[in-house]
Structure 1
């Protein structure tokens, strides 16, 4: 980490089909070993299935899923006087979105199922209804922060 200056925040370009920055962010997180075309194909097929199942705009469903999975607080370890405390901190909007996308894709990968497209579809649908593993993860983080609220005075 550089001590000189803060790195500039790069603007992410929207994806070519839906013209959405969120789809592009999810695609970049889904991509493995630089295979972006494969990641785009998986996302677009999942969005098509979401549209067929819900008969709504699939982008709105995905935005709702990410919004539901976004945490408000998180805990970070802080060492004070030989003890390590879990200090609750508020999460900024960019970090919250990044965590939500990460949790959604992790729970998709851990789901048992035939293929990634159905796992993506089911996880986004579950998260948009405030169910699923990503929502459980968010609730777990919130409970952890609530339990360690006494250490909020050690915020940095």
Structure 2
């Protein structure tokens, strides 16, 4: 159970970007993710990236992705890091938050 909790904790995003239209231009505005959405996104990414793995059965795929996520590796952790990088890159537009 500790491995699963560590995996979910390593996958859950803190920031994400949302498109906001201002004066005819679309800006990717970084926003903080609510706790319920963090958990939902983490679980969704875990299952989706498990499906893309090469193991034979879904049980093996999910188990391997959980182990990778608990070790801070794997596709679902990379998705979280990419989401955080996008939010960091668009930090200049944070004042458009609503």
Q: What stretches of structure 2 of length at least 5 have no aligned partner?
A: none
C-alpha separation in 2, matches of 1:138 and 1:110: 17
Q: What stretches of structure 1 of length at least 5 have no aligned partner?
A: 1-58
Q: 2:25 aligns with which of 78, 83, 88?
A: 83
Describe the SS at the equivalent of 1:119: helix
Higher-Rg structure is 1
Alignment partner, residue 71 of structure 1: 13
TM-score norm. by structure 1 comes to 0.62
C-alpha separation in 2, matches of 1:116 and 1:106: 11
Q: In the comparison of the two structures, how many residue pairs are matched?
A: 98
Describe the SS at the equivalent of 2:55: coil
C-alpha separation in 2, matches of 1:103 and 1:85: 24
TM-score norm. by structure 2 comes to 0.98
Where relative contact order (Cα < 8 A, 6+ residues apart) is larger, the structure is 2
Q: 2:70 aligns with which of 104, 121, 128?
A: 128
Alignment partner, residue 138 of structure 1: 80
Alignment of 1:25-64 (within 5 A): 59-64=1-6
